[in-house]
Amino acid sequence: MTEPYDVVDVIITKRDGGKLSDPQIDWVIDAYTRGAVAQEQMSALLMAIYWRGLDDAELNRWTDAMIASGERLDFTGLSRPTVDKHSTGGVGDKITLPLGPLVASFGVAVPQLSGRGLGHTGGTLDKLESIPGWRAALSIAEMTAQLERVGAVVCQAGAGLAPADRKLYALRDVTGTVASIPLIASSIMSKKIAEGTSSLVLDVKCGTGAFMTAPGPARELAATMVGIGEAHGVHTVAVMTDMSTPLGLTAGNALEVREALEVLAGGGPPDVVELTCVLARQMLDAAAAVLERTAGPEAFRLAGQLREADPAEHLRNGSAMDVWRAMIAAQGGDPDAPLPVAKHTQDIVAASDGYLTRLDALQIGVAAWRLGAGRARQEDPVQAGAGVVMHAKPGDRVVAGQPLLTLHTDTPESFGRAAEALEGAWTISGTRPQATPLVLDIINLLPASKSHPADRQDLINNNGRRDPD
């Protein structure tokens, strides 16, 4: 087969700051996916993109080409509107667990194609696989049937979704090109758009435990992904949230499931409840916005109900818990089975009296990883019961000798390395710290009118100001 382009010409075009044409982008993604472009050649192109970037037209076409490399799911036949949520990853981020059932309890379909953890950030599938019998692998037919019947599903993505992204993701990891906003945004959004949802809410983390540690790059990534989603007909909203401190009081698989169950039962840590409800509100509004684009009084009636819904009430009255139990049972899990517990624990205590003013998310995440809750390679096993339990959060008063953290593991020889990761992870002061917001910003595309929702292309934040370039 004679290739229509020379990959070296494509590399040189981008290296020298030129713009790639649509046919060039379509070809290079397809050719790399089928092996006609060598790893070292795509590595050179990725580095050129890392330095030169992609403009909006190039980025949208790059995302198109990655979507076109595989199958695209279609949930338009469901009787429910669909909305998905994606988090860029953090420590103690168990929000998907209560969030999907909560949103589904209002009659919305929530398809969550999730992944496993790598490094210090946990994976939703790892958490759910701590439930006896639960399975992550579902066929498309099983997913669709469960969404129609239950309203929520969390499962692994099939091999047919955006296969180009899987190859590019692995290559970026070994070529120093991970930290490129166009490449991150197209990687995330190609998979999310291919999943077939009509609306999407992004939880973009910012802080020491997040991939984006500074607000500026996090906001740029959020705005870029919102733009890609809207350009592809997926109503998209991004919520920027703080990840300097771990979410909730646990980091680890079964530990986080147990905490999510507390939230579904109407309790749980305040920050987990707050973020669950904030994201649920955005997801319900996103689903309503899609319905409002559909002609017909029934769609507008349902949209009105979604906009008036109170997520917190469905946590209090058990509606979300009912959907959780149905979701777990539908995937072979036993919602009443006891969760795994680690064989060994060790407390780390406060050295002085005062207020806890800082608890570093990254260091907590690394400690949980070293205890066995995470993996260094995708094929590594994880311990279901391993992790860290936090007995205080910033703002809490502590006394000398009080346990600050409890380490959980089946391998007690890992306590030493976990403790090393926690050196300097917290600060105790005589002054109570000022409270910091969990939600930093909300970024979306402001529609000019309901009849032409995409006329305005201004990215705005929650204060109504245009997001800076």
Listed residue (420, 461, 467) closest to 237, CA to CA: 461
- Cα angle value 325/330/332 (rounded, 5°): 100
CA Rg value for the chain = 22
**And the tokens for 31?**
């050719």
Give dist(CA 95, CA 127) in Å, integer.
11
For the chain, percent helix, then strand, then coil, each to nearest 5?
A: 45, 15, 40
DSSP 108-135: -BEEEEE---BTTB--HHHHHTTSTT--
pLDDT score of 363 = 97
Give dist(CA 14, CA 188) in Å, integer.
22
| Dihedral sign from CA coordinates of 115, 118, 122, 126 | positive
Give dist(CA 466, CA 394) in Å, integer.
32
**What is the pTM assigned to this prediction?**
0.91
Listed residue (173, 193, 244, 197) closest to 75, CA to CA: 197
- Residue whose pair of structure tokens reads 């000022």 in the numeric block: 434
Q: Which domains are delineated in the chain?
A: 7-53 (1.20.970.10), 84-336+438-460 (3.40.1030.10), 344-429 (3.90.1170.30)
pLDDT block averages, 10 residues each, the chain of length 469: 91 97 97 96 97 97 97 92 93 96 98 78 88 95 96 90 91 90 95 94 95 93 96 96 97 97 98 98 95 85 94 98 98 97 98 97 96 81 95 97 98 97 97 95 65 30 29
What are the catalytic residues? 86, 165, 172, 187, 191
pLDDT score of 158 = 80
